[in-house]
Structure 1
Amino acid sequence: MTRTLIVIDMQRAFDDFDFWGASTNPACEKNVAALIEAWTASGEPIVVVRHDSTSARSPLHPDNPGNALVDAVAAVDPALFVRKNVNSAFYGDVDLHAWLGSRGISELVVCGIQTNMCVETTARMAGNLGYAVTVALDATRTFDLTADVAGLGTVTRTADELMATTALDLQAGGFAKIATTESLVG
């Protein structure tokens, strides 16, 4: 096999909209489950990534219940499990790049949470490392974002805008191809 599915940060904490704010794409978890089912049926490897925040106040901290994976992902027996505390899955407790290389894997399909954070960072790094990367955009989701930015003032983007921008940046920038779950499992 030269292709693997990378499932990023599908954790219960992201269901806490009081903490994260408004989200988009409620079909994300269903689509991730469909990808997992297709990969399992084909015998292709699945990599599961979990974000273990170093901040005790974060719902993603290992001591908090939100750190747990959602059911569809928790049920997977992954070929590799990566714990990380930064945005990229390539900077986890397992050397993902070395693991992929040792197995001759050159094609990655990436899904999970958050579209414009860990999914995008992992996809960009994978593209820079020479992998053929596809992001299953409808198997990702993110949250509205607001920040005070020097020179710009207060900048606000909706989750839908952030997903579209991530898709544009990844595809137009040559980091990854954007696909739908149906096109990958159909």
Structure 2
Amino acid sequence: MNRALIVLDVQESFRARPEWDRIADPDIAEPVNRLVRLARAGGDLVVWVLHAEPGSQDVFDPALGHVRLLEELEPPRPGEPVLHKTSHNAFTTTNLQRLLTEAGVRELTVCGIRTEQCVETTARVGSDLGYRVVFVTDATTTEPVGGLTAGEVTERTEAVLRDRFARIATVAELEASKV
């Protein structure tokens, strides 16, 4: 196994926020599930990452019960790590790098919620750590940020990652390449 799928923050915390009605793709679980099935079929490691802010008393506080995968997601299988992070990227506050190293992973496929935040940051850090990174743009979602529409945020993210930190791909492209 030299590849891993990193599923970032596809969690009920986001659905519990008032901003959920502005999210670009409320059906994000569907493309993520396709990637999960593809990764499992290829024998790749699937790593689930949840954002938590213990003691914050908001939707990211695990004590309130929202820090769990979206119910529409295929559940993690035995051996698939479920990590809890407190930073934007999935590396800094978890043992992700150790898990990937022990598994011999050299390529990461990343997807999840907040295209320009946690998914992009994880892609950048992963690239800096020497992993080949595939950013699956249509298996991410976000909301409008700083006067930009969600679509503009996604376009900007693709532009800054492309050919520097990650290869940009779609779920359909990855499915076609596995046939």
Same fold at TM > 0.5: yes
Name the SS for the 1:14 alignment partner: helix
Structure 2 partner of 1:152: none
Deviates more, 1:8-17 or 1:45-54: 8-17
Whether 1:163 aligns to 2:154 is yes
Name the SS for the 2:48 alignment partner: strand
Could you tell me the TM-score, scaled by structure 2's length?
0.89
Aligned partner letter, 1:81: V
**Conserved 8 A contact 2:115-2:140:** yes
Structure 2 partner of 1:109: 109
Structure 1 partner of 2:175: 185
Deviates more, 1:67-76 or 1:47-56: 67-76
RMSD: 1.8
CA distance in 2, matches of 1:56, 1:19: 18
CA distance in 1, matches of 2:17, 2:81: 29
CA distance in 2, matches of 1:66, 1:74: 17
Deviates more, 1:48-57 or 1:126-135: 48-57
**Conserved 8 A contact 2:127-2:166:** yes
Structure 1 partner of 2:82: 81
Whether 1:122 aligns to 2:122 is yes
Structure 2 partner of 1:29: 29
Compute the displacement of 1:145 (Å).
1.8
Any runs of at least 4 consecutive aligned residues in structure 1 with deviations exceeding 3 A, and if so which? none
Which deviations, in whole Å up to 9, do the C-alpha atoms of 1:99-145 show, x marking residues without a partner?
21222210000000110110000000001111100011000001112
**Conserved 8 A contact 1:56-1:63:** no
Name the SS for the 2:134 alignment partner: strand
Could you tell me the TM-score, scaled by structure 1's length?
0.86
Aligned partner letter, 1:51: H
Which deviations, in whole Å up to 9, do the C-alpha atoms of 1:16-70 show, x marking residues without a partner?
4524561213442210011111122222210110111135232121012321211
Name the SS for the 1:90 alignment partner: coil
Aligned partner letter, 1:87: H
Stretches of structure 1 lacking an aligned partner (at least 5 in a row): 147-155
**Conserved 8 A contact 2:111-2:135:** yes
CA distance in 2, matches of 1:55, 1:134: 34
Count of residue pairs the alignment pairs up = 175
Structure that is richer in strand per residue? 1
Q: Pairwise mapping of residues 1-186 of structure 1 onto structure 2 (< 5 A)?
A: 1-16=1-16, 18-19=18-19, 22-73=22-73, 75-77=75-77, 78-93=79-94, 95-146=95-146, 156-172=147-163, 174-186=164-176
Compute the displacement of 1:162 (Å).
0.8
CA distance in 1, matches of 2:27, 2:72: 13
CA distance in 1, matches of 2:134, 2:101: 18
CA distance in 1, matches of 2:19, 2:31: 24
Structure 2 partner of 1:153: none
